Amino acid sequence: MTPSNENIVPLIKKESILHMLERGLREDGRKLNDYRPLSITLDYAKKADGSALVKLGDTAVLAGVKVEEEEPFEDTPAQGNLVVNVELLPLAYETFEPGPPDENAIELSRVVDRSLRDSKSIDLGKLVIEPGKRVWTVWVDIYVLDYGGNVLDASTLAAVAALYSAKLPKVVNENGEIKVVKEEKGDRLPILFPVVTVTAAKIGKYIVIDPDLEEEAIADAKLSISYTPEGRIVGMQKSGAGSFSVQEVLYIENTARAAGLKLLEDFKKQLNIQ
Amino acid sequence: MRKQNEFVFPGDELAVIEEFTPGENTYEVDGQVRSSALGKVFYDMINRRSNVLTLKKPLLSTLKKARYVYGVVMGVREDSVMVSISSVEEKFISPSLSGFLHVSQISNKFIEKITDYVKAGDIIRAKPMTYYIPLSLTIKGKDLGVVYAQCSICGTVLVKQDDEHLRCPNCGNIERRKLGNYMVKKVGNQGN
Amino acid sequence: MIQIQKPRLILDDGRRLDGRKPDELRPMKMEIGVLKNADGSSLVQVGNTKIIAAVYGPREMHPRHLAMPNRAVLRVRYHMTPFSTDERKNPAPSRREIELSKVIREALESIILVEEFPRSSIDIFMEVIQADAGTRLASLMAASLAVVDAGIPVRDLIAAVAVGKADGVLVLDLNEPEDMWGEADMPVAMMPALGQINLLQLNGNMTPEEFKQGLELAMKGINIIYNMEKEVLKSKYAEYKEES
């Protein structure tokens, strides 16, 4: 159903925000293509196999990874499984309510899931304990703690960071018998490279990268694009009731790619990975 | 500009805003007037408006041409009456539409008590004055007003006594209303 | 049955598994006004994908507190019948269906002149009868035709097609094996007269250059589909005219 305008303040401010955009400025002092400051805290939840708290401006997202032993699916006997779920917690925003995930949470989950899966950044083939019999299922649960705009990009960042911090339980081979020692940590998760999602919002005729909550509230439409470090596109999602011209889409792809590659550098530096 | 009567699709450009203002079934974007429907262009040269004439319209858009609607009075407030409209002329509609009747649209006379004119449960014939939900209605016209009512004491269908009064054939109770083309003229098979 | 081995998607002669060239569309059939009760309806077939769509409204919004004072509310449901797929699909709405209902609704928001019907709702339902790749776009087109059939004012029509990558080749209008085994799937929907993109997704893997070429290929397909839609609408209009 069409969402109702819950917060009317940004609508009242729309004119002044547009005025600033015309001069190439944003309320928080950023330029149109600037990302908000990113901070990542790894292993924030110690009982998880891997976790990361990501702060992107006012947005805070916590991702936790849990690994479980399971039988493989019939059609993919030599592959582990990846399950991504995003929860928009009631503690994150005034209008969020407890209950099953709504369409926004489901869309977020599915976009993050596709970016991770389609980029093949996780080597699912390496998540096998015994081929055809036992594999690892990697559960990535993403909890939005503070809803400050652009939770999609923050969710992808949190998921990837948590996956990088995650370790599988130890697997030992005792005289040909493969055993899982749950109490001990073993190998790192087979994650090959990081992936980022970059969201651009269209406000009037202006395009801004990494919209904050107010900008999102007055945006006509958003386009989110996921990138690998090579600059390959590994996911795309348009959302919102508005539309884009072809030129706008091509402009966003260029701008988002530049922002994405910069974001990846920052991400790698913070996680200390190559 | 297109040819008069040319067939157009939604999105087709009809004129620039300086030539013609947007009329029926059109909209404006970036200074251009475009069609919002399937139909034939009609440029109104006198008013300088471009219109698209269509064959099929949503119900809410047909209300402008409706001469009257029928509805049930759902409640009477101090200065207005809530009406649930269930037919446009003789065409039954579902779900019903909300309407209201302001005290000033009931009669030309001074009204002391609304319930002397309409009561909850009455069926009225009214004319819509606005075309957005809830519809603002009037029953000021000669053939507009209550067309069907039940006795507020015993529930029997009332019959017309004179231009302003209804009589209960069962208990003899007399009630006042603003009457339209009141339907029940004789006792029929009710009561006596 | 689920095929475990990926087949070759592009054959030696450069053609696809269903005999099409990479830039060729599947056969398409559109019908308008197929249901009696709905205010507007349509049936769209793209290859073996078959969708039926219906529109009710604009009508009074129930429950009333959900109505919006300045516009109509759109309620959109994309749903797959249990028998539309190889394996029976659970009729309860899946996460995929919930996401697609949202994406389709947002695309429809951009064409429907919702401001003309304050406090009302427009309910749009799409049922997938046969699923064989491209159901979201066929559903979106079916919905847009049903909306036009209902006489609801719109900014433009919607024409849509997916572009994908199969064995490294950019292909137009994916078929089921390409959807399943291809390297990328990019559904694109446009408002053709206004040149605006109102649905764009991508799953899979493309270089920016491939994306650019893919978008051009999609626009080529969209143009053909747009002309087909106009033909269908024109003949339907003639039919209405005879009736009235």
pLDDT tens-place string over residues C133-164: 999 999 999 999 999 999 999 999 999 999 99
Q: Among C117, C193, C237, whose Cβ lies nearest the Cβ of B38?
A: C237
pLDDT of residue A128: 94
The confidence score (pLDDT) of residue A182 equals 87
B60 interaction partners in chain C (CB closer than 8 Å):
58-59, 117, 120
Query: pLDDT tens across C167-176, in order?
Result: 999 999 999 9
Within 8 A of A202 by CB-CB distance, chain C residues are: none
- What ipTM does this complex have? 0.93
Is-contact A138 A83, C-beta < 8 A? yes
Q: Is residue A7 part of a domain?
A: no
Q: Of A186-190, B79-83, B92-96, C49-53, which range is least confident?
A: B92-96
CB contact under 8 A, B11 and C191: yes
Strands (E), A43-166: 50-56, 59-70, 81-88, 128-130, 134-146
Is A114 among the domain residues? yes
Say whether pLDDT at C3 is over 70: no
Question: If you average pLDDT over residues B3-24, what whole number do you get?
Answer: 96
User: Alpha carbon of A202 to those of A113, A238, B54: distances in Å?
Assistant: 24, 11, 34
With CB atoms and an 8 Å threshold, state whether B55 touches C237.
yes
Residues of A in contact with C73 (CB under 8 A): 1-2, 4
User: pLDDT tens digits for A229-255?
Assistant: 999 999 999 999 999 999 999 999 999
Structural domain contains residue A13 = no
For tokens 């009317």, name the residue: A8
Q: Is residue C37 part of a domain?
A: yes
pTM: 0.93
| Dihedral over alpha carbons B100, B104, B105, B111 (to 10 degrees) | 100
For B132-150, what is the mean pLDDT?
93
pLDDT, tens digit (0-9, with 9 covering 90-100), for A95-105: 899 999 999 99
Q: What is the pLDDT of residue B183?
A: 77
Longest Cα–Cα distance of chain A, Å, equals 72
How many CB pairs (< 8 A) connect B and C? 88
Confidence of residue B186 (pLDDT cuts 50, 70, 90): low
Tell whether A1 is within 8 A of chain C (Cβ): yes
Q: So what's the pLDDT on residue B191?
A: 45
What are A41-60's pLDDT values in tens digits?
999 999 999 999 999 999 99
The tens digit of pLDDT for each residue in A159-185 reads 999 999 999 999 998 988 899 998 899
Q: With pLDDT > 70 as the criterion, what percentage of chain C qualifies?
A: 98
Contact between chains at B57 and C62 (C-beta distance less than 8 A) = no
Residue C244 pLDDT greater than 80, yes or no: no
Interchain touch A–B (≥3 Cβ pairs closer than 8 Å): no
Q: Is C156 on the interface with B (CB under 8 A)?
A: yes
Residue of B nearest to C194 (CA): B11
Which of C39, C119, C151 is opposite residue B54, by nearest beta carbon?
A: C151
Separation between Cα atoms, residue B25 and residue B52, nearest integer Å: 5
Select the residue from B56, B62, B69 to test the C interface by mutation, using most C Cβ atoms within 10 A.
Answer: B56
The token pair that represents C111 in the structure block: 């064409």
Contact B155, B121 (CB under 8 A): no
Which positions in chain B touch C193 (Cβ < 8 Å)?
A: 9-13, 34
Structural domains in chain B?
A: 7-54 (2.40.50.100), 58-176 (2.40.50.140)
Range of the domain at C231: 28-239
Quick check: is C22 in a domain?
A: no
Q: Smallest Cβ distance to C206: which of A107, A221, A233?
A: A233
DSSP code for C142: H
Residues 136-175, chain B: which have Cβ within 8 Å of C? none
Contacts of C66 in chain A (CB under 8 A): 1, 4
Residue contact C208–A233, C-beta within 8 A: yes
> Mean of the pLDDT values across residues A185-207?
96
Query: Is C68 part of the contact surface with chain B (CB cutoff 8 Å)?
Result: no
B23 touches chain C (CB under 8 A): no
The C-alpha atoms of residue A79 and residue A71 are separated, in whole angstroms, by 10
Per residue in A32-44, pLDDT (tens digit) is 999 999 999 999 9
Q: Judge whether residue B189 has pLDDT over 70.
A: no
Subunit contact C67:B133, Cβ cutoff 8 A: yes
Q: Do C109 and A118 touch (CB under 8 A)?
A: no
Residue B21's SS3 state is strand
Instruction: Give all chains having 3 or more CB-to-CB distances under 8 Å with chain C.
Output: A, B
Q: Helix (H) and strand (E) counts for chain A? A: 5, 13
What confidence score (pLDDT) does residue A2 get? 87
* A230 vs B111, more confident: A230
**What CATH number does the domain containing A106 carry?**
3.30.230.70
What total number of domains does chain A contain? 1
Asked whether the beta carbons of residue C153 and residue B59 sit closer than 8 angstroms, the reply is no
Give CA angle at A101 (A100, A105), nearest 5°. 175
Nearest to A236 among C74, C191, C202 (CB): C202
| pLDDT, position A198 | 98
Contact across the interface for C203 and A118, Cβ inside 8 Å: yes
B37 touches chain C (CB under 8 A): yes
pLDDT at A209 over 50: yes
CB of C62 closer than 8 Å to CB of C169: no
Tell me how far apart the alpha carbons of residues C21 and C224 are, in angstroms, rounded to a whole number. Answer: 15
**A258 pLDDT above the threshold of 70:** yes
| Average pLDDT, integer, range A261-268 | 97
C66 at the B interface (CB within 8 A)? no
The CA distance from C9 to C26, in Å, is 16
Q: Is the pLDDT of residue B188 over 90?
A: no
- Contact predicate C127/A260, CB 8 Å: no
Chain C touched by A95 (CB under 8 Å): no
| H/E run at residue A20 | helix A9-22
Write out pLDDT tens, residues C86-132. 999 999 999 999 999 999 999 999 999 999 999 999 999 999 999 99
Residue range(s) defining the domain that contains residue A62: 18-271
Flag if C212 and A244 touch (Cβ within 8 Å).
no
The verdict on a CB contact (< 8 Å) between A233 and C73 is no
pLDDT (0 to 100) of residue C239: 85
Q: DSSP states of A134-183 as a string?
A: EEEEEEEEEEEEE--S-HHHHHHHHHHHHHHH-EEEEEEEETTEEEEEEE
Are the C-beta atoms of residues C93 and C184 closer than 8 Å to each other? no
Q: In whole angstroms, what separates CA C121 from the centre of its chain?
A: 21
3-state secondary structure of B148: strand
Q: Would strands C49-60 and C40-46 be described as parallel, antiparallel, or unpaired?
A: antiparallel
Residue C157 lies in a domain: yes
Question: For position C64, which CATH number holds?
Answer: 3.30.230.70
In whole angstroms, what is the distance from residue C191 CA to residue C2 CA? 36
Question: Above 50 in pLDDT, residue B54?
Answer: yes
* Residue A4 domain flag: no
- Distance of residue A227 Cα from the nearest chain C Cα, in angstroms: 9
Chains C and A touch (3+ CB pairs under 8 A): yes
* C119: closest chain B residue by CA: B133
A83: in domain:
yes
Q: Distance between CA atoms of C226 and C45, rounded to whole angstroms?
A: 15
As a whole number of Å, the end-to-end CA separation of chain C is 50
- Alpha-helical regions (H) of chain B: 59-62
Contacts of A241 in chain C (CB under 8 A): 106, 109-110
The answer to whether residue A141 is domain-embedded is yes
Average pLDDT over every residue of C10-20: 95
Distances C172 to A43, A118, C107, C184, C186 between C-alpha atoms, Å: 45, 20, 21, 11, 10
In a domain? residue C8: no
Task: Provide the number of structural domains found in chain C.
Answer: 1
Q: What is the pLDDT of residue A196?
A: 98
Per-residue confidence (pLDDT) for residue A5, from 0 to 100: 64
